[in-house]
Chains A and B, each alone.
Chain A
Amino acid sequence: MTVEELITLLPLTVVSGQSKLGHEITGGYVSDLLSNVMGQACAGNVWVTMQGHQNIVAVASLTGLAAVIIAGGVKLDKDAAGKAESEEIVILSTLLSSFEITGRLYQLGIAGK
């Protein structure tokens, strides 16, 4: 499934990276500890977090993630939006909690790997 298909199926809003929605999703990961994500998430994953700090952009870029989903209605920090846009990182937001959005991702066949 691509990121573009995903956003038609779930209540997700595109915050940045509109031009990169064609990426195929390989799996998913959930954590708010960025050092943990750098070590554990795989390229092509969607990552669910409640962090809105600009470092999520760098972590997504470093790890080669397909998209970052910011859950729980948390807003991306001011400086981060511009950085995400210039680095073409797909950031999505949802009002659903991390638990709920992860459950729905799993139901759609996106597993942890």
Chain B
Amino acid sequence: MMRRFVADLHVHTLLSPCAAVEMTPRNIVWQAVDHKIDIIAITDHNACDNVPAALEAAKGTTVTVLLGMEVESREEVHLLVLFDKMRQMKEWELFTKAHMSGRLNDAARFGAQFIVDADDNFIAEKNELLLSSLTAGVAEISAQVKRLGGICIASHIDRPVYSIISQLGFIPPDVELAAVEVSRHMNAQDASVRIPAIGDLPVITASDAHVMEDFINGPKTAFYLEQPTVGEIRQALLSQNLRRVVV
């Protein structure tokens, strides 16, 4: 049976150097339960090390965690990538590792990058500089995500930086996007009028939370699905099989 799921497909944990330490997977899941957020995607910059902790923390709760990452392309375009299976995510992680800059993080300048478990225990600090572009371009990234069975959503396309439109002027036809995301600064319903470059692409909105208050109060997108999976979200974005998206 089809039901309405409130989703936030863009949430950073404390692995992202720009996110607050309160953004532990456990805290995020607990807040999601309290605030009736049904689906969250953990989307740290160029890394997915805190996804397992979020999956573990969500066990036995009403919250579904989707496997995600916010990737930065060679052109400094941010893209959300989402997968259903850990096997796909692991494959994707290999691709990102092969395309990292090789620079190390300077925690004093950029912030620390913490990996934790489902009980908020410190596991490790990630050394690679995550706030950096991969050596792969947007088209290559989107093709690889498609090959692995995931979906790509262009992040905060209304923003003047790190957006596919700010960097590339318009959305190239060879980039396989399931949707575009607008930030909390733009009403998603106005987006395709205010940004004609969106064309016919579906529009979603998400919190892009780096602190808990933004996660709780930031914008969300509702999906009508049978199951809270990336595969069904893809169908909803295409308005297929009675699945649909409401912004």
Interface of A toward B, CB cutoff 8 Å: 32-38, 51, 53-55, 58-59, 77, 79
Say whether A58 contacts B137, CB under 8 Å.
Answer: no
B43-81: contact bitstring with A at CB < 8 Å (1 yes, 0 no)?
Answer: 000000000000000000000000000000011100000
Are B174 and A34 in touch, CB under 8 angstroms? no
Q: B167 touching A79 by the CB < 8 A rule?
A: no
Contact of A35 among B76, B138, B169, B172 (CB under 8 A): B169
Q: Is B242 an interface position by the 8 A CB rule?
A: no
- Interface membership of B110, Cβ < 8 A: no
Q: Which residues of chain A have C-beta atoms less than 8 A from B169's C-beta?
A: 34-35, 37-38, 55, 58-59
Within 8 Å CB of A53, what residues of B? 74-75, 137-138, 168, 172
A79–B174 alpha-carbon span in the complex (Å): 10
Chain A: minimal CB distance from B17 (Å): 23
Given contacts A33-B160, A55-B170, A79-B139, 8 further A-B contacts (CB under 8 A): A33-B166, A34-B169, A34-B170, A38-B169, A53-B168, A55-B168, A59-B169, A79-B174
Q: Min CB distance, A45 to chain B, in Å? A: 15
Flag whether B191 is at the interface (Cβ < 8 A).
no
The CB with the most chain B CB atoms within 10 A, among A51, A55, A79, is that of A55
A75 to chain B minimum Cβ distance, whole angstroms, is 11
**How distant is the Cα of A37 from the Cα of B170 in the complex, in angstroms?**
12
Contact with A along B136-169 (1 / 0, CB 8 A): 0111000000000000000000001000011111
Residue of B nearest to A77 (CB): B137
Q: Which of A33, A58, A77 has the most CB of B within 10 A?
A: A33
B165 nearest in chain A by CB position:
A35
Is the CB–CB distance between B174 and A35 below 8 Å?
no
- The contact string, 1 if C-beta is below 8 Å from chain A, for chain B 72-116, is 001110000000000000000000000000000000000000000
